[in-house]
Amino acid sequence: MNAFSAGLTRFIPLLLGALLLAAYTLLPVVIQPERGATTPYVLLENRANNELELPTAGLQLVAMAALGALCLGVWNVLAPQFGRAIAVLTALCGGLALTYFIIFARDYAAEEATYLASLGPGFWLMLATAGLLLAQVLLPRPRPPARYAIMRVLGNQEGVLLLTVLAMTIAVGIANPRFVAERNLSDIIMTTSYIAIAAIGMSMVIITGNIDISVGSLMGLLALISGRVSLLTDWASATFGLATPEARGLVIAVSWVAPVLCGALVGALIGFAVTYLKIPSIVVTLGMRSIIFGGMVVWTNGERVVDMPPEYFLAQMRPLNIPMPIYFMVVLVIVAALWMRYSAAARALYAVGGNAEAARLSGLNERRVIMQAFILNGVFAGVASLLYATQFQTIQPTPQPNVELAIISAAVVGGVSILGGTGTVIGAMLAALLLNAIRSALVFINVSPFWVQAVQGVLILLTVLADIFRRRRQST
Amino acid sequence: MFMAEQAASSRPNTPPPGGLRQFLLSQEGVLLLLGVAMVLLLATRSDKFLTVDNLLNQGRLLAEIGLVALPMTYIIITGGIDLSVGSIFGLCAVVLGFSWQVVGLPLELAIVVTLITGALAGLVNGLFIVRVGVPPLIMTLATLAFYRGLAQGISEARSVTGYPEWFFGMGQGDFLGVPQQLWVLALATLVAGIILGLTTFGRALYAIGNNETAARFSGLPVDRYKLLIYTFSGLMSGVAGYIFVSRVTTTRSDMGSGLELDAIAAVVLGGTSILGGSGSILGTIIGVILIQLLKNGLALTGVTTDATTVVIGVVLIAAILFNTFIQRRRAQ
């Protein structure tokens, strides 16, 4: 690359960002001067107050993308050594603007479509600029020294996920401020929490090179067990005369611990079948899935569990005004992450998943390690099901559909390799958060909820592809 | 396991391959015995079970799973897996309904479009697995969500009904006294069995499943074959989706949820190793039939569907356990 093109590359993000911003702010005025000068306001003002009096809130996404690209462009000029990272972020801005133009303006909000149509060539200019912002990522750039923190962040799955979650929250929050309202955010985290907790256990199982597709059914069963035990408070007080609050508290405590213990038991059973009976885990858990599912419906006769005692609802408690599941998620993820990183027992999980033969030769008991992973998976499934069971006033007699899909997806998107040996639980938590936040975000920018799953599918694929390409590059 | 089998067959005192004893000790033989025993037992419990009418009707119900399980056998033999078949099934059902009613294609053309959609969906799986190197489990997990999402997005929870009378022929009509879809399944089984057992393509699938690197170095077109079987899987899911719509006379986007697990269960029950390298079409078809008869027979004797689910889970694990036990005995 010669000096001239290198110099040009250095200014391209800035130029494109400026162009998009200019098009966004100036063109409406230049092209249709009869509308009057709104220039100073258009950036900050919600275009609901625009001259057409149309609610075009989503357009602000384009303004944000333009501003973002502009700032990144300035940064690129000042610090070209970050060129690659900046190029990726700038492309994200372009992608954001494009997404808005292509999907939403065309068929969702008729008012915005009208407004954009009234811009005529200005619309096409914005569209083309956004496309160029996306395309500039393909320009050749010098490989940066690896010591910059930003490259390290972009170099691992957790960093990418965190940035994506933040970028999405900010972007959607600007388009529709109700998305970032405290209530909605805590809703998202609440629904994420039990998926994330179950994903911790799933990560451990997948890291050892196994899989558990029965975890959804198991969680349904454990929730029922927990609920049924809590119903015993009245029975216990009647039978043993345990009417004191302490005794009631004891029964409630048992109902909280029961799913965790039962989960560990089922996990041990699966682990036993996988390690000692040598049945591949996918087959064992496929069988367990039908056994648990059917057994559960037979046991409950398809009846919901209701009328749990008021003290039972752990997930509804809000110490310090923060919902309980958030504490559980944060504490468990931190503990598990530290454990996975620093304890010998957890490093054995990676060793067995990475190379079972080598692990065996270095004296690890492979069976015990895999057994341990499945038991822990059962424990985390137990905690997750407890949070799920105590969230609402009723417990359904059937497992939530596709919950194992959500859990496995979270683990995989979080960077846990299905081939075993790599991955972290923080990644799994962030992925669970992202998959759930996307569901909510699409609703807030008025995408039909019917498309949510398709978007999630694409997202799973994209993150997995990113992971594969990154590994390929690191290994060469 | 492959090594063990090789070691066993090189021993001088093991009986020569073939022969009745060999067959009875194979997974297919065991299953067949189990199936016959089960049929006899269930026949004594309900006089409606062992009637031609009932059995043919069961044939109608198992055709869709059977059609999906055939390519699944190929895929599992190569050491892969396809979790997206249920979603392709649903997507194809929706494409069929909407390309006819909403887009306005003639129904014949809509059927063709449906089958092409299925094949394309499978091809996309295959391309990513082969060209990019995404593990099959992950790729098809992603498309399990994606294709189902497409089906939901296209249909927006609306169902399509009001198909013309002739359309129901495939799902409800008979040909020579046997349900039409059973002919399709029989033909597909025959072709799939011959291809797997008697062609170099079939042998190559086993080779890929046993040792992909070795297969590659022996000059087998591994990538092309894999692409083919995933496309075939998508196509057959499309065919099954079409037959299903024709049978139940309506189209909904949630059709075929969980079909992938039923198909995998049947394949695994039929003796195909989930680790790849061994298995047969005969075993798969016996597995499919066994599960359906078990469901039907238990239902006729008054067992609830959910208890039947438990039984199928137990049978699945027990069959695999028995199989590994025999394999180990033979290896010793």
Q: What is the rounded distance in angstroms from the CA atom of residue A456 to the CA atom of residue A442?
A: 11
Contact assessment for residue A62 and residue A105, using Cβ atoms and an 8 Å cutoff: no
Dump pLDDT digits (tens) for B271-302: 888 888 888 898 899 889 888 888 888 887 77
| Residues linked to residue B178 through DSSP beta bridges, in sequence order | B175
CA separation, residue A408 to residues A171, A200, A435 (Å): 27, 10, 12
Instruction: List, as own/partner pairs, every contact residues A44-47 make where C-beta atoms lie below 8 angstroms and the sequence separation is at least 24, other chains included.
Output: A47/A115
B233: pLDDT strictly greater than 90? yes
B147 touches chain A (CB under 8 A): yes
Q: To the nearest whole angstrom, how far is the Cα of A454 from the nearest Cα of chain B?
A: 4
Domains contained in chain A, CATH given: 3-145 (no CATH), 182-475 (1.10.3470)
Contact A461 B309 (CB under 8 A): no
In chain A, which among 186-245 make CB contacts under 8 A with chain B?
A: 211, 213
What's the number of domains chain B is made of?
1
B74–A contact, CB cutoff 8 A:
no
Question: Residue B133's pLDDT is what?
Answer: 84
Contacts of A277 in chain B (CB under 8 A): 321, 324
- Cα B60 off chain centre by: 15
The beta-carbon neighbor of B313 closest among A280, A294, A454 is A294
Distance from CA of A295 to the nearest CA of B (A): 6
- B144 burial (CB, 10 Å; 0-12 / 13-18 / 19+) is buried
Distances (CA, A) of B257 to B58, B89, B157, B160, B304: 20, 9, 15, 18, 21
Residue B40 inside a domain? The answer is no
Phi/psi region, residue A36 (left: phi>0; alpha: psi -120 to 50; beta: rest), is left
- Identify which of A395, A393, A376, A375 has the alpha carbon closest to the alpha carbon of residue A385: A395
- Are B317 and A278 a contacting pair at CB < 8 A? no
Q: Do A460 and B142 touch (CB under 8 A)?
A: yes
Report yes or no on B36 lying in a domain.
Answer: no
In chain B, where do the E strands start and end? Answer: 174-175, 178-179
Phi/psi at B116 (5° precision): -65, -40
Residues B185-197 pLDDT 10s: 999 999 999 998 8
Q: Residue B25: pLDDT band by 50, 70, 90 thresholds? A: low
**Residue B212 belongs to some domain of the structure:** yes
Domain holding B74, by residue range, is 2-7+47-331
Task: State which residues of chain A have pLDDT below 70.
Answer: 1-8, 26-60, 79-82, 102-120, 140-156, 236-246, 418-421, 471, 473-476
Element (H, E) at B269: helix B259-269
Quick check: is B34 in a domain? no
pLDDT above 90 covers what percent of chain B?
Answer: 25
- Whether residue B144 lies inside any domain: the answer is yes
Q: Is the pLDDT of residue B69 over 90?
A: yes
CA–CA gap between residue A425 and residue B246 (Å, rounded) = 46
Probe site for chain B from A211, A301, A412, A450 (most B CB atoms < 10 A): A450
Cβ contacts of A353 on chain B, cutoff 8 Å = none
Partner-chain residue, chosen from A280, A290, A408, that has the shortest CB–CB distance to B309: A290
In tens, the pLDDT along B245-271 reads: 988 888 888 888 878 888 888 898 888
Which positions 310-329 of B are in contact with A (Cβ < 8 Å)?
Answer: 310-314, 316-317, 320-321, 324
> Tell me, what amino acid is at A179?
F
Residue-wise over B13-35: b if at least 16 C-beta within 10 A, else e?
Answer: eeeeeeeeeeeeebbbbbbbebb
Measured CA to CA in angstroms, residue A414 lies from A438, A444, B247 at distances of 15, 24, 41
The encoded tokens of residue B204 equal: 């190559």
| Å between B197 CA and nearest CA of chain A | 25
State whether residue B278 sits within 8 Å of chain A by CB.
no
Q: Give the A window 428-447 contacts with B, CB below 8 Å.
A: none
- Assess B302–A contact: CB distance below 8 Å, yes or no: no
CB–CB contact B149 A456 (8 Å): yes
Please tell me whether residue B15 adopts helix, strand or coil conformation. Answer: coil
DSSP 3-state assignment of B178? strand
pLDDT tops 90 at residue B236 = yes
- What tens digit of pLDDT does each residue of A303-357 get? 787 777 777 777 777 777 777 888 888 888 888 888 888 888 888 888 787 777 7
Any bridge partners for residue A395, and if so which?
A: A305
The CATH number linked to B52 is: 1.10.3470
Q: Which amino acid is at B59?
A: G
The pLDDT of residue B24 is above 80: no
Assess if residue B24 is contained within a domain: no
* A303 close to B (CB below 8 A): no
**ipTM beyond cut 0.90:** no
Q: What's the token pair of residue B286?
A: 């016996």
The nearest alpha carbon in chain B to A420 belongs to B135
- In the block, tokens 């066993």 appear at B8
Q: How many cross-chain Cβ pairs, A to B, lie less than 8 Å apart?
A: 140
A262 and A222 Cβ atoms separated by less than 8 Å: yes
Put residue B2 in one of left, alpha, beta given phi > 0 → left and psi -120 to 50 → alpha.
Answer: alpha
pLDDT value, residue A248: 75
**pLDDT at residue B7 in the model:** 39
Which residues lie across from A305 on neighbouring strands? A395
Q: What are phi and psi of A397, to 5 degrees?
A: -80, -5
Type of residue numbered B142 = A
B156 in any annotated domain: yes
**Residues sharing a CB contact under 8 Å with residue A86, sequence separation 6 or more, in sequence order:** A13, A72, A75, A76
Chain B from 167 to 206: CB within 8 A of any A CB: none
For range B122-137, the mean pLDDT: 90
Exposure string (b/e) for A328-363, b if CB count within 10 Å is 16 or more? Answer: bbeebbeebbeebeeeeebebbbbbbbebeebeeee
Query: Phi, psi (5° rounding) for residue B200?
Result: -65, -35
Main-chain phi, psi angles of B97, to 5 degrees: -65, -45
Residue B17 is predicted with a pLDDT of 52
What pLDDT, in 10s, does the model give residues B137-160? Answer: 888 888 988 998 899 888 887 888
Distance, CA of B332 to CA of B324 (rounded, Å): 12
Among B135, B144, B304, beta carbon nearest to A418? B135
Q: Residues in chain A, how many? A: 476
- Given a contact cutoff of 8 angstroms between Cβ atoms, the answer to whether A471 and A465 are in contact is no
In a domain, B292, yes or no: yes
Distance from C-alpha of A120 to C-alpha of A118, rounded to nearest angstrom: 5
